[in-house]
Structures are given as C-alpha cells and as structure tokens.
Structure 1
C-alpha cells in the first residue's frame, strides 16, 4: 500500500468514526427523551450555586465548600478565594492534589468549630475573625497549622503529605 492510499484510508476511517459518534449521541438523546440543553451550564452536580463552585455546606455557624477535582471546580474555588476568610489546599507527593482529607478547625478557646472531610484539594471556610488551629489528617498522618482570620482572602494554609 502506498503512503497516499494509507493516508486516504486513515482519513476515511476518522470521518466514519466521527459520523458514528455524532449519530450515536443523537440517538442516545432521542432514546432518553432528552433534547435541547446547553453547553454553557457551569453548575456542578447537585449544585445550586452555579459558576462551577461546589455546594456550600453549613456546620453550626461555619459555612464551607470543598472540591476542585475537575478543572471547572478548581478554577471556581481559586477565583472565590478572595471572598472567603480562610482557604486551604491539600497536596501529596509530586504536588498531587488530594481529596478525602479530614479537616478539623479549633477556635482560640479550644472549641471545635468545624469537623468535615474535604471533597478535593481546595477548601474555603467562612469563619469570624480570630485565631484558629487547622488540623488536617490524610490517611494516618495529621498535620496542624495556626491561622489568623482577619477578613476575606487573608488567611491561607497549605498542607502537604509525602505519602500516597
């Protein structure tokens, strides 16, 4: 076979595959009864906030959100950091992003104000101004950092583990 024939054959196969994929997608929409929709929906699954920001949770007087596994969520959380008093980041070996980090935040007087699990590498927390200790536990390794919350976008803490 000549390279010209091979090139034509490859192009024909690509066009056939694309046509089949497009037709299959249209068939799937018809079969499910779903038509229309937009590609500009930037909400996350189960989220009413829009803009790709994960669902905001509430625990006592503290609001928080976490995620960032997908690119849209990561961008939304990074964009929103400036509006939240505390932002946390969790990474592993070779700067891998981590989820499933257990987070506890204790106030200056020793009272726990938040205990939850991170759904991704980023967590944003709304806390009143003050001094706090953030405990972050990944697998069996717990780390802690003192933070002073002074207003939106001011306090940041990054936690890094060398375990997988």
Structure 2
C-alpha cells in the first residue's frame, strides 16, 4: 500500500459486484445493471428490462401462431418470476455456458413431430417458457455459431424441460 493512500470504495462498484455474485456471471449479452438501491435490471421499478412491461417481474407474453411464449431472466425478479411460473407452462428451456453463466440471444426453433415449424424466435434471456399442445417436439437452438438439438415430449398433465449448455 502506498503511504497516505486509502482504498477507494464505491457504492456503485459494490452494488455491481453483489449483482454479479448473485447471478453467477458478469457481462455478456445478459449484462446486469444495478441502481444505488441494489435493484438489479428487470425489477418492478424498472419495467423496461427484457420486455418486462407489465410491472410484475414477468416479461411480456408473446404469441406466434397458436404458441404463446415468454423469455428473459436477466434481472433477479424476472428470473424468479420465470422460475416460479415454470410449472404453469408445458415447455421450459434454459440456456447456460459450461461455466454456469447465463446465455441470452439464443435462436430457438421448435418443430413438431411432422417437421412443421411451431416457433421461430430469439430468447431474450436464459429462460424461455413455451405453451404448446401435448406432443413430441424437436427444439433447435443456436448461440455463437453453435447449434444444438433436443427432442422433448410434452405430456398433457405435466411440463417438459430442456437445458442447453455451450
């Protein structure tokens, strides 16, 4: 330590560090921002994050044909809302890196057992919930030039889950 010097402490720096530790990652497509109160993106006070326009922490539900879906999970309240809603949705998808860091901006294409396109979109965060009819589906995802595919069966009384790791 240099004589007559003192460590620099910053509330913003501490808040960012806390947010980083809470989410297990720093930066990337799903970069976190925290305000002075410690509220991290996607909060009910900041309802502009990742499509959260309804003030509940849950991102806006979108529709494509007969399929409803919601994606996000960048902010802590958004992640909690999506995880809490998983059991109400027939299909739940999660996107992470091997290190455990969350991944956003994942291209998602879902086809039915006949090869017909059911959903073609980009996930806004590490979680995507999809309302599809019971059946067998192929989920094709792409991130950073790497494609992955998983086959899922959505039953009439439960929900299917698939995790993709890059």
Question: Is TM > 0.5 for Structure 1 vs Structure 2?
Answer: yes
SS at match of 1:87: strand
Q: Mind listing any 5+ residue stretches in structure 2 that lack a counterpart?
A: 1-10, 12-38
Deviation at 1:139, TM superposition (A): 1.2
Of 104, 114, 118, 1:113 maps to 118
Q: Is it true that 1:139 corresponds to 2:144 in the alignment?
A: yes
- The answer to whether the 8 Å contact 1:132/1:147 transfers is yes
SS at match of 1:78: helix
Find the aligned partners of 2:119 and 2:97 in 1 and give their Cα distance.
23
Q: Is it true that 1:44 corresponds to 2:47 in the alignment?
A: yes
SS at match of 2:137: strand
Scaled by the length of structure 1, the TM-score of the pair is: 0.70
What is the match of residue 134 of structure 2? 129
Q: Which structure has the larger Rg?
A: 1
Find the aligned partners of 1:94 and 1:144 in 2 and give their Cα distance.
20
Q: Mind listing any 5+ residue stretches in structure 1 that lack a counterpart?
A: 1-16, 18-38
1:62–1:114 CA distance, 2 compared to 1 (3 A): same
Q: Is it true that 1:98 corresponds to 2:123 in the alignment?
A: no
Q: CA RMSD in A?
A: 2.3
Which one has the bigger helix percentage? 1
Find the aligned partners of 1:138 and 1:145 in 2 and give their Cα distance.
14
Aligned length in residues: 125
Find the aligned partners of 1:121 and 1:152 in 2 and give their Cα distance.
25
Of 79, 82, 87, 1:82 maps to 87
Scaled by the length of structure 2, the TM-score of the pair is: 0.69
- The answer to whether the 8 Å contact 1:43/1:52 transfers is no
1:78–1:153 CA distance, 2 compared to 1 (3 A): farther
